[in-house]
Amino acid sequence: MDYLAQQLINGLVLGSIYGLIAIGYTMVYGIVGMINFAHGDIFMIGGFIALITFLVLVSFGLTAVPVVLLIVLLVSMAITALYGWTVERIAYRPLRHSFKLAPMLSAIGMSFVLTNYSQVAQGARVKPVPPIITGGYTLHEGSRGFAVQLSNIQIIVVITTVVLLLLFTWLVARTRLGRDMRACEQDQTMAALLGVDVDRTISMTFVIGAALAAVAGMMYLLYYGLVDFFMGFVAGIKAFTAAVLGGIGSLPGAMLGGLAIGLIETLWSAYFSVEYKDVAAFSILIVVLIFMPTGLLGRPEVEKV
């Protein structure tokens, strides 16, 4: 029972990270109808930037943990957001009216560029960091000596995720930008005719998605203590699975899907087999897309003949 409780906690934390990445996928798919294959690598870049920023700050003698974390968060969000913006400008905008395969191949190409750019820039080896935040709380002392623990890092991840989720839900529901985004999702041409700056709205969607992915990258770094340049690929597919599971185009759906995937992956690794945990995630993607393509919270589409 305690083991299960621990796995649930771990799963929810991992799921929060996936959820943050998934939001980027779902927002972009909702507004331009494409899977941003490079988004997972944006997450990876976010992690790298967080790593480098952290390293530089520490070397300058900054040790106050909350200050360091805040600066790393802001810097990595800002720079990664710019990466997201640049990718959209260079690789997607010219192809917006082209046929289906072109932006997809362009996105795949961009994904390769980002992965190998990081590899070239930072060297191929995995970068470990010592635990930045340590300590936690023991929730329950089990009878067999197994204690259910909630680490500080886990608390931080969950709180950050909740705050950001609330912030961006407010953004989409209440602000002008959010309204523009929803308008573009439904009918781009009409939105443009009504004065919405479609280009800018789409760019902002990518920027926001990238910023959230950066947070996810930073959380990943803090939680697992390492970044490597291939982490984007697998995390990307899992996060996309989460987005589809939750219902593509739905923000709460993406987070819900993320939590679900995180839980499934953790429980699967704990109770079945660790080696095949990725296979479990990919299989879920296939199953969901075949049997439940609109996901949990999505809207069904009727084909017009």
Partner 1 sequence: MSGVSGSTSEHKPAAGAPGFASILQKAFVSAFVALVLFSLMIGIRTEAGPTGQLIYWTRFGELASLVAAVFVGSIAFELIRRWLGPIGAANIIPPFVQGRLSGAGRLIAPALLIFTFLVPVIFYNQRYILDLGILVLTYVMLGWGLNVVVGLAGLLDLGYVAFYAVGAYSYALLATTFGLSFWVCLPLAGILASLWGVMLGFPVLRLRGDYLAIVTLAFGEIIRLVIINWQSLTGGPNGISGIPRPTLFGIPLTPADDGLAALLGIEFSPTHRIVFLFYLILALALLTNWVTIRLRRLPIGRAWEALREDEVACRALGINTTTTKLTAFATGAMFGGFAGAFFATRQGFISPESFTFQESALVLAIVVLGGMGSQLGVALSALAMIGGFELFRGLDQYRMLVFGMAMVLLMIWRPRGLIGHRAPTVFLKKAKAISSDLVKEGQG
Locus of tokens 């490079």: 38
How far is it, in rounded angstroms, from Cα 112 to Cα 38? 8
Question: Which of positions 105-124 make contact with partner 1 (CB under 8 A)?
Answer: 105-106, 108-124
How far is it, in rounded angstroms, from Cα 289 to Cα 281? 13
Is 128 a binder of partner 1 (CB under 8 A)? yes
Question: Which of positions 254-293 make contact with partner 1 (CB under 8 A)?
Answer: 275-276, 278-279, 282-283, 285-286, 289-290, 293
217 with 48: CB under 8 angstroms? yes
Is 179 a binder of partner 1 (CB under 8 A)? no
Amino acid at 68: V
Q: Measured on CA atoms in the order 103, 300, 167, 230, is the torsion positive or negative?
A: negative
Number of residues located near partner 1, criterion CB under 8 A:
73
Choices 8-16, 53-61, 152-160, 204-212 (CB under 8 A): range interacting with partner 1: 53-61
Alpha helices in 64-197 (DSSP H): 65-87, 101-122, 152-174, 176-186, 188-193
Question: Which of positions 189-208 make contact with partner 1 (CB under 8 A)?
Answer: 199
Is 127 a binder of partner 1 (CB under 8 A)? yes
Q: Measured on CA atoms in the order 249, 250, 253, 255, is the torsion positive or negative?
A: positive
- One symbol per residue from 138 to 177: x for binding partner 1 (CB under 8 A), - otherwise; what is it? ----------------------------------------
Nearer to partner 1, 86 or 138 (CB): 86
Amino acid at 145: G
Is 224 a binder of partner 1 (CB under 8 A)? no
- One symbol per residue from 16 to 45: x for binding partner 1 (CB under 8 A), - otherwise; what is it? -------------x---xxx---------x
Locus of tokens 């060297």: 123
245 with 114: CB under 8 angstroms? no
Nearer to partner 1, 3 or 276 (CB): 276
